[in-house]
Amino acid sequence: MVGLLASGPALAQQPVVRLLPRVLPSAAAPTLTVLVVPLDAAAQAQLPQLTYQAEQAVAGTERFQLVRLADALDAQGARERDAKAAAAAAALQEGQKAYDELDTQQALKQFDQAAQLYEGSDLSRHFMDMSRARVMKIAAYVANGDNKAFQRELKEVLARNPRAEFSSNFFPPDELAVVEKVRRGILAEATRTLEVKTGDVPAQIFMDGQFQGISPMTLSGLTSSEHFVTAIAPGYASAQGRFRGEAALKLEPLPTASKLKAWVDRIAAAPEGADRDAALRELGTFAGTQQVMALLVRGTPSISGQDAIALRVEVSDGHNAGYAVGPLPLSGDAGNTALQALLASVLQTDALRGKGGKPTTHYPTQGPSAGRKTAGYVLLATGAALVAGGIYFGLEASSKADDFKKLPQRDPRAEKLRSDGKTYALVADVGVIAGLASAGAGTWLAFLGGGDGADSGGKKGRVTPAPAPRPETAPAARPEDKPATPAATGKTQDKPATAPAAGKPEDKPAAAPPAGDKATPATAAPQGKSTPASRAEEEKRKREEEKKRAEEERLKREEEERLKREEEAKRKQAEEDKRKGEERLKREEEEKRKQEEERKKREEEEKKKREEEAKRKREEEERRKREEEEKKKKKPALDEDDLRNY
């Protein structure tokens, strides 16, 4: 207690350590849930993995408040787990307050309660929070001087979480040394395995808060302690517990599983139809989210991998805020990269609405045109990504060149810097050239080569502009001078395209006069009368083209500004990295200089010692010689005559 009181002022000067979970996203961020729809058996096997990757992509953007589909389908269970997590956070906060007020007994009680409450929450999210609570429990043991409890709790915490952090704000140097010693010993003995099974249901597996993969699976390199395993699958109640050696978790189906299956079947039956978005809106309404992101994946046995459609739908009116299609390899790093790029194109920006705020949809009415335009968008996005990558590697090459110029020629790092700089420069050139080529091809397909039909499958899918040319031909085909025309026109105002087929036989010659000589005046009159309508249609079409060009220019400017911002951010990051590198080099040089000074100082001290030792030896020798000379002087010399007489 005396030691704790003495350390109080020092602890008060330390910065406040935040032990609470991260603050939830802002209320302004739209809520979003993720649905992955496998379109064949090959994609069905990867459903849990793709769901986890898609959810991580959403969380990584920080634009949305993610609502996991598994939690949305198990609302009651999710509320109970969240309530325990909230109570645990409150207990942790109270424990921290008591610890700061030196009431370590109360702090110990609160930290222990927080750890127990966290254990009943969703540990796939709150395991690290539980670990922090137990670390603070250990800190309370240290403050109370209970060394045995400190040792016991320390081994349990590090056995489950070798990554646990112990701050010097709460642990003296001696205890920190014990922590590191126990940590090394536990890691050296991490040779156990854990087999995880979830029956017939493939599920996402989290061990000690870390995503491990899809069940069934075997985990290796584990400590001998029990580990927390959490299994999650949409449509099933999550299962969780402590296990050692083997973990058999049973996932119970929820009543909402049938609804999920119905939505998935509807989407799989019409992956590019209007019922797809209707099912997604129903799912979003049930989950209580503002948007739904869907990933439709089709596996193929060919080398090209999977065909994927990613879209983000607003639940209120079905507006496609994001849409992208492209190939998706089945596995490997290339598949992960392609998936992240596909999802990023859907999540990063919001698509514009149509005229009057009408929602944008993607129901292709003309397959080839819609596919051409979609391919153009994909190529444009790919080109932008390649150009951005080329710019980044160009900046890296420039940074390597600057570092190379600053190093001495004999420095061993110079050759590596020169080689890396050349590699980055080559990658930058290839990326920029390929990006420009891809962007040019995408621009031609999306805006120049698509024709009128491209819009029908793109931004104006629901408006269906395909019937637009019919009003131009209807006036020319309507013989207004014939007596039968009023009756015919009265019946064909709603269906002009089917009027000729529904008329009497006498109406058919009205379309044939262009072949005869007498038909010229008859045909000239209708053409003359239809000219104002044609001019109006032409002006309308021109206005629409001008609006389209203006919109394209605006999008192009926004894309250029976004690229400039990204380039500026990368440049600043490169400068920051360069500055940190220079600071690190300065620190290394300063350390070398200090080491050199200490070495010289030691050499001087050793030299001084040697000189003093030599001086002492010389003085000793001189003293010995003087003593011998004095002895000789004191001893009487023998007379030669006495020697002879002797």
Q: What is the pLDDT of residues 470-484, one digit of tens each?
A: 333 333 334 334 433
- As given in the structure block, the two tokens for residue 91 are 């207990």
Give the model's pLDDT for residue 639. 55
Mean pLDDT score of the chain: 79
Q: What CATH number labels 28-72+259-363?
A: 3.40.50.10070
Nearest-angstrom CA–CA distance, 234 and 256 = 9
> Average pLDDT in the 418-428 region?
83
Question: Comparing 51 with 541, which gets the higher pLDDT?
Answer: 51
Question: Comparing 494 with 56, which gets the higher pLDDT?
Answer: 56
* pLDDT of 407 higher than 60: yes
Nearest-angstrom CA–CA distance, 325 and 374 = 7
pLDDT by residue (tens digit) across 196-206?
A: 999 999 999 99
Give the model's pLDDT for residue 81. 93
CB 283 within 8 A of CB 269: no
Whether residue 216 is preceded by a cis peptide bond, meaning omega within 30 degrees of 0, is: yes
* pLDDT of 427 higher than 80: yes
Give the model's pLDDT for residue 592. 87
In CATH, the architecture of 190-253 is Sandwich (2.60)
* pLDDT of 13 higher than 50: no
* pLDDT of 245 higher than 50: yes
pLDDT tier for residue 367 given thresholds of 50, 70 and 90: very low
- As given in the structure block, the two tokens for residue 325 are 């299609």
466: Cα separation from own chain's centroid: 40
> Average pLDDT in the 2-15 region?
43
Give the model's pLDDT for residue 481. 40
pLDDT by residue (tens digit) across 330-354?
A: 667 777 888 888 899 999 989 999 8
CB 54 within 8 A of CB 343: yes
The CB density around residue 239, as the number of other CB atoms within 10 Å, is 19
* Cβ within 8 Å of residue 550, ≥6 positions away: none
Give the model's pLDDT for residue 30. 93
pTM assigned to the model: 0.54
The runs of H, that is alpha helices, within 239-331 are: 257-269, 274-287
Give the model's pLDDT for residue 520. 38
Residue 460 in 3-state DSSP?
coil
* pLDDT of 437 higher than 80: yes
Using alpha carbons, list the distances in angstroms from residue 406 to 410, 411, 413.
12, 10, 11
Question: Comparing 116 with 5, which gets the higher pLDDT?
Answer: 116
What residue type is 270 in one-letter code? Answer: A
Cβ-based burial of 138 (10 A; exposed 0-12, middle 13-18, buried ≥19): buried
pLDDT tier for residue 22 given thresholds of 50, 70 and 90: very low
DSSP state of 241: E
The CA-CA-CA angle for residues 484, 487, 488, to 5°, reads 80
Give the model's pLDDT for residue 426. 86
* pLDDT of 594 higher than 70: yes
Nearest-angstrom CA–CA distance, 493 and 503 = 13
Percentage of the chain lying above the pLDDT 70 cut: 77
Cβ-based burial of 610 (10 A; exposed 0-12, middle 13-18, buried ≥19): exposed
pLDDT tier for residue 409 given thresholds of 50, 70 and 90: low
Lowest-pLDDT choice from 259-268, 278-287, 440-449, 502-511: 502-511
* pLDDT of 70 higher than 70: yes
Nearest-angstrom CA–CA distance, 347 and 312 = 8
